[in-house]
Structure 1
């Protein structure tokens, strides 16, 4: 399962820019990677964990701007078409990654 977060946050004031940086940093700390500007994706083992992560993201979302999420199965994500550019071969983008603790 993949959780995708898409956002459009204002950066007109220094407070807006600070909120944007905090939000982006929080997404990365939650295990998301940047798919493209303002679109971040994370692999989740199941929908229960995806909902849990979504709730944590909702708690840190800045009050201004637009933040959206979508949950995709791995099959739906892999069926994505690349009209231009190349898919990332990064290990973070793989559902088969192994985390060693």
Structure 2
């Protein structure tokens, strides 16, 4: 019989968070349009804004994370810097988040229905 605590712990190492960091130029109208489209594509793909140029998405598995990473890579703007990082749910759970000097609790991910 599988211990439920063991299954939960294993799931924390299997489920992933995908973080997208970006610094995109906005000097010209064309640059702004590309930056807006990149951000819109992230939102349409289920990412949420964590900070101004940091978006994140919870993925139930490494395979699911790979799908969203591939999709993000296919929509990269021609200019600017983009970084994609993935971490386990366990690692994300150890984040220390502050607003000013006051520590806050990270928001839990919204439940997302995924159809395969």
Shorter-chain TM-score bucket reads 0.7 to 0.9
User: Runs of at least 4 residues of structure 1 off by over 6 A?
Assistant: none
Structure 1-normalised TM-score? 0.86
Is 1:48 the counterpart of 2:82? The answer is no
Q: Structure 2: where are the runs of 5+ without partners?
A: 1-15
How large is the RMSD of aligned CA atoms in angstroms?
A: 1.9
Q: Which has the larger radius of gyration?
A: 2
- Cα deviation for residue 94 of structure 1 reads 2.1
Q: How many pairs does the alignment contain?
A: 96
Distance 2:109 2:52 in 1: 19
Q: Structure 1: where are the runs of 5+ without partners?
A: none
Q: Which has the higher contact order (CA 8 A, sep 6+)?
A: 1
What residue in structure 1 maps to residue 77 of structure 2? Answer: 62
Is 1:16 the counterpart of 2:31? The answer is yes
Structure 2-normalised TM-score? 0.76
